Amino acid sequence: MAKSIFCFFALFLFSTSFVSANETIYKEGKTNLGESSFNYTVFSANSNARRIEVVHTKNRYSGALAEMSFRERHLQIFAMVAVLMKESCLTGVSSLGDIHISRDPEREEDPDVSHPKFFIWKYVCK
Judge whether residue 3 has pLDDT over 80: no
Tell me the DSSP string of 58-82.
SSS--THHHHS-HHHHHHHHHHHHH
Q: 94: exposed, middle or buried (C-beta count within 10 Å: 0-12, 13-18, 19+)?
A: exposed
Residues 14-48: pLDDT tens digits?
Answer: 444 444 568 899 999 999 998 999 999 999 988 89
Share of the chain above pLDDT 70, in %: 83
Query: Which are the contacts of 109, defined by CB distance < 8 A and separation ≥ 6?
Result: 70
Share of the chain above pLDDT 90, in %: 63
Give the closest residue to 123 by CA, choosing from 21, 44, 27. Answer: 44
**pTM of the predicted structure, to 2 decimals:** 0.78
